[in-house]
Amino acid sequence: MKVIPAINCKDFDCVSDKLLKSAEFSDWVQIDVSDGKFSEAVTWDNPKEIFSFMGELGLALKVEAHLMVEDAFGESLRWLAAGAKRVIVQAEADFDIEDLTRSCAEYGAELMLSISPKTDIGDKSNLLPAFNEFQILSVSPGFAGQKFDGNSLAKIKSLRELFPNAIIEVDGGVNAETAEQAKSAGADIITSASYIFENENPKEAFQRLASI
């Protein structure tokens, strides 16, 4: 299974430490960006700093930016211009899908739609067809270390039925048990923060998930 380490940090010392660890076993990382408005959490948010750091050290990591912010379009532009290969916007945020799709195409980046636990897929039926990549949030937006919401499995199954060829990622509360459940429900990608980085051996934790 495809596994992406998720980096949820309040300062760049934390970000840089987890980037270095991720580069030992992964080709992708997810950067969680929370503005304190869309959710209560506030995280580090300086895309130029991360790509400058990776360039100086020659870290060959692709970055997806999970934007839990009110200004989804403006924040997407910042991350795309810095070098993000995928931006993930919340279905609950305000944005113009045509502008966002065009900007991602101009930068050669992927666009993914994230759906929060409290959001019903049916309520976003007009928006869904504009995407072929989805993220199901199995925790409330913003904070790391939350418990996996089992209701997310039904959402994954529903999305897989609606869009058989879509890429589906699940994010939040992922461990070996919930990763297996997500895969069975139809997920292609899992992201993990606490399970990987709070393990004494992050590489082993990552490989355990990848083997599911």
Grouping H, G, I as helix, E, B as strand and the rest as coil, residue 77 is: helix
User: What range does the domain containing 163 cover?
Assistant: 2-210
Which residue in the list 17, 45, 171, 188 is annotated as catalytic? 171
144's CB contacts (< 8 A; 6+ apart) are 6, 8, 32, 193, 194
Give me the pLDDT at residue 143, please. Answer: 64
Tokens for 118, please give them: 């409290």
**Which residues have CB under 8 Å from 81's CB, separation 6+?**
47, 107
For the stretch 181-212, pLDDT in tens is 999 999 999 999 999 999 999 999 999 999 99
| Selected residue with higher pLDDT from 146 and 159 | 159
* Inter-residue contact 187 to 169 (CB < 8 Å): yes
What local confidence, expressed as pLDDT, does residue 120 receive?
92
Looking at the structure of the chain, the number of domains it has is: 1
CATH of the domain at 109: 3.20.20.70
For 19, 57, 184, 212, the CA distances from 33, given in Å and listed in that order, are 15, 23, 28, 28
Lowest-pLDDT range, 32-36, 54-58, 146-150? 146-150
Which of residues 147 and 28 earns the better pLDDT score? 28
Token pair for 82: 């810095």
Q: How confident is the model at residue 41 (pLDDT cuts 50, 70, 90)?
A: confident
Concerning whether 71 is annotated as a catalytic residue, the answer is: no
40 — pLDDT class (breaks 50, 70, 90): confident
Distances (CA, A) of 170 to 3, 78, 93, 109, 201: 10, 24, 19, 19, 23
Considering only 55-69, 127-141, 188-202, which range has the smallest mean pLDDT? Answer: 127-141
Helix (H, G, I), strand (E, B) or coil at 34: strand
Mean pLDDT, the chain, rounded, equals 94
- Is the whole model's pTM more than 0.85, yes or no? yes
Confidence of residue 79 (pLDDT cuts 50, 70, 90): very high
* Gap between the terminal Cα atoms of the chain: 6
Q: What is the mean pLDDT of residues 156-165?
A: 96
Burial of 100 (0-12, 13-18, 19+ CB in 10 A): buried
pLDDT at 62 over 90: yes
Q: Among 39-43, 47-51, 80-84, where is mean pLDDT lowest? A: 39-43
Mean pLDDT lowest among 99-108, 141-150, 166-175? 141-150
Q: Specify whether 99 is catalytic.
A: no
Catalytic residue among 27, 32, 123, 149: 32
